Amino acid sequence: MAGEHIVIAEDDEGSRLLLSAFLEQGGYEVRVASNGLQALQLVRERLPNMVITDVNMPEMNGLELIRRLRSHHKMARIPVIMLSALTAPPQVLAGYAEGADDYVGKPVDLTVLGAKISALLARSSGERTPEGAGKVVLVQHAKGGVGATTLLVNLACLLEPLSVTGVGILDLKMGFGDVSRMLGVHNRLTLADLALQPVETVDDALFSKFVTEFTTGIHVVSGTERPEHAELVNVPAVQMAISRLQERYQYVLIDAPAAYDERAMAALDVADLVCVVTAATNLSLQSTADLLKLLRRLDINRARQVLILNHNRPDASELNAAEVLGERLDLKVAYTPAFLTSGDEAKPLAATEPDSEALEMLGEFAAGLADRLARSASRASRQQALPRTGLPLKD
């Protein structure tokens, strides 16, 4: 697959020159580093199609380099081949445990290496979001208690009869998520368990064990059941879950936490639409204004955003929300006590009373979601065609 960009991390100069010459002769663009730290800097400056790394290097070894790559939402899917003279099973397995995709022993057989590079690049290319994949809608908020999860659950119920292949929900509020509680389902396996599975072993049958059914058209994948298990959930597990859900469902709704970490960023990266939910309080509006500024800095254009004001309290303020936010509101949801009571009873209002007047605005949003997504994609594509100045990646 000539023309692909590969970063090599190798502390031995002779090996570095040999590998570089071999790959350049094969038509690849190559950049080289003498240790993991330098390689990481090269990757941050410009994402490569592959990283080939030695294990034992000064300053930062290959295992730590792989660990850093796999923990970053932009770098987690870069294929990595590990090179080492250490060929005992425990040493090889240590590399795979950190997330290496393949292993080549030293001295390197260049024919074997070339074949593995071609296979991995072909597989990586095939992992890109295929045509017809489900649309990802991220539901985001800056402050807790604004009713974002309640809106997401009811939106899923309203979308179910409108979709051909149903709705998948991914709960990223690790250990504190309410999606399963509001739907009255129990997730036997979660993302914490999925993270323990080697990526190449997770086929459709195995992934099904992590999916819990609410109705035939609504299925849920949970982050963790316990807060202390949150640290087990890594970026590749989140990316894998989203990809698998996109293969199955027309819509994938993601309940995102207020705090941004690499896992939330991984979801934001692939979101077709970002629904920002705020409440009619001064604190919530000011925090949401900060969140909107962050989204602009992250280059999430306005066409991909839906700004929702949820009146989730009877004593809602009469503040001019649009003025505080500096943005127009796309959707206002009136105060609806039935939202709260139905959530407490694990019977979403949209599932039990889909024709309720309280759901009118949310129902109109659901009915027009497909058109909104199409318009958003069209605007985003036009904006991407404009010249841009790239910035290096940061931790």
pLDDT tens digits for range 49-81: 999 999 999 999 999 999 999 988 889 889 999
Sheet with strand 29-33: strands edge to edge = 29-33, 5-9, 50-54, 80-84, 102-105
- Domain shared by 59 and 116, yes or no: yes
pLDDT at 143: 87
Q: Is the peptide bond before 107 cis (omega within 30 degrees of 0)?
A: yes
- Domain shared by 56 and 144, yes or no: no
- Domain shared by 78 and 193, yes or no: no
Tokens of 296: 């602009």
Summarize pLDDT for 135-172 with one digit per residue, the tens: 999 999 998 889 999 999 999 999 999 999 999 999 99
- Domain shared by 120 and 156, yes or no: no
State the Cα–Cα distance between residues 56 and 364, nearest whole angstrom.
Answer: 59
State the Cα–Cα distance between residues 142 and 208, nearest whole angstrom.
Answer: 32
- Domain shared by 117 and 172, yes or no: no
Beta strands in the chain (DSSP E): 5-9, 29-33, 50-54, 80-84, 102-105, 135-141, 167-171, 212-215, 218-222, 251-255, 273-279, 305-310, 331-333
pLDDT at 5 over 50: yes
Q: Has residue 393 been placed in a domain?
A: no
Point out the least confidently predicted range of 85-94, 231-240, 359-368: 85-94
pLDDT at 387: 53
pLDDT at 346: 86
Summarize pLDDT for 288-320 with one digit per residue, the tens: 999 999 999 988 888 899 999 998 887 666 678
Domain boundary among 125, 160, 189: 125
Which is it for the CA torsion 221, 223, 227, 232, positive or negative? Answer: positive
Q: Structural domain tally of the chain?
A: 2
Contact 239, 155 (CB under 8 A): no
Assign 342 a pLDDT band (cuts: 50, 70, 90).
confident
Q: Has residue 206 been placed in a domain?
A: yes
Assign 190 a pLDDT band (cuts: 50, 70, 90).
very high
- Domain shared by 321 and 367, yes or no: yes
Tokens of 82: 């590990």
Q: What is the mean pLDDT of the chain?
A: 88
Point out the least confidently predicted range of 278-287, 337-346, 363-372: 337-346
pLDDT at 128: 59
Listed in sequence order, the residues at least 6 apart from 265 whose beta carbon sits closer than 8 Å to its beta carbon are: 73, 74
pLDDT top residue among 208 and 84: 208
Q: Has residue 389 been placed in a domain?
A: no
- Domain shared by 240 and 277, yes or no: yes
- Domain shared by 119 and 157, yes or no: no
Domain boundary among 125, 145, 163: 125
- Domain shared by 31 and 153, yes or no: no
Distance of CA 192 to the CA centre of its chain: 15
Nearest to 57 by CA among 47, 45, 66, 70: 66
- Domain shared by 119 and 142, yes or no: no
Q: Has residue 320 been placed in a domain?
A: yes
State the Cα–Cα distance between residues 254 and 268, nearest whole angstrom.
Answer: 9
Summarize pLDDT for 103-139 with one digit per residue, the tens: 999 999 999 999 999 988 888 776 555 667 899 999 9
Beta bridge partners of 29: 5
- Domain shared by 216 and 344, yes or no: yes
Point out the least confidently predicted range of 181-190, 191-200, 377-386: 377-386
Listed in sequence order, the residues at least 6 apart from 297 whose beta carbon sits closer than 8 Å to its beta carbon are: none
Q: Has residue 367 been placed in a domain?
A: yes
The CATH number linked to 63 is 3.40.50.2300
Q: Has residue 130 been placed in a domain?
A: no
Q: Has residue 395 been placed in a domain?
A: no
pLDDT top residue among 226 and 20: 20
Contact 304, 376 (CB under 8 A): yes
Q: Has residue 392 been placed in a domain?
A: no
- Domain shared by 9 and 36, yes or no: yes
Residue 344's domain comprises 135-384
pLDDT at 390: 45
The CATH number linked to 323 is 3.40.50.300
Assign 32 a pLDDT band (cuts: 50, 70, 90).
very high
